[in-house]
Amino acid sequence: MVVQCPKCGHKIYQRRPARRRPIDPSALVERPPLLEEGDWLTTEQVAAELSIKPASLASMISRKRFPKADLKWRRRNYWKPSTVKRWQDEEFQRIVFMPADGWPQEEPSETPPRGEGGRFIKIEAVEIIIRP
């Protein structure tokens, strides 16, 4: 936006105010009814339950590492508690915790970490075997 100085006629360029989406205050208080499970979870509540930041949750959703919201209402995302619980159960099955007696001690491979000419060896495949 260009404005002229009334005294000298010099052009003054002004920045336009940033457009911000208006937030409906009732969206922060009112939630749609969920009869079977209790209450809906907001983005902030889901992020707090997963011990991450809300921006990290948005990133996980965009990368398809977390399910999309079950409901979008008044520009806000809501999840059912069962959706978050199901995702946690599936995700924690993939994580391997250290056994109580520790990892088995095996001798390191005799293969040197470098190949000919001092170059690193390219590893194409790794097989991990977990013994109970």
Domain segments of the chain as ranges: 33-95
104 against 62, higher pLDDT: 62
Share of the chain above pLDDT 70, in %: 67
pLDDT over threshold 60, residue 95: no
pLDDT mean across residues, the chain: 78
Q: What is the pLDDT of residues 44-90, one digit of tens each?
A: 889 988 888 989 999 999 998 899 999 888 788 889 888 999 998 88
DSSP state of 120: B
22 against 63, higher pLDDT: 63
What is the structure's pLDDT at 34? Answer: 64
Q: What is the pLDDT of residues 5-17, one digit of tens each?
A: 888 888 888 777 7
pLDDT over threshold 80, residue 101: no
Phi-psi bin for 46: left (phi > 0), alpha (psi -120 to 50), beta? alpha
Cα dihedral across residues 61, 66, 68, 72: positive or negative: negative
- As a CATH number, domain 33-95 is 1.10.1660
pLDDT over threshold 80, residue 30: no
- Which residues is 71 bridged to in the sheet? 78
Length of the chain: 132
Largest CA-CA distance found in the chain, in angstroms, rounded? 86
Q: Do the Cβ atoms of 9 and 40 come closer than 8 Å?
A: no
Q: What is the DSSP string of 98-116?
A: PPTT-SPP-PPPSS-SB-G
Q: What is the pLDDT of residues 113-122, one digit of tens each?
A: 666 777 777 7
Q: What is the model's pTM? A: 0.49
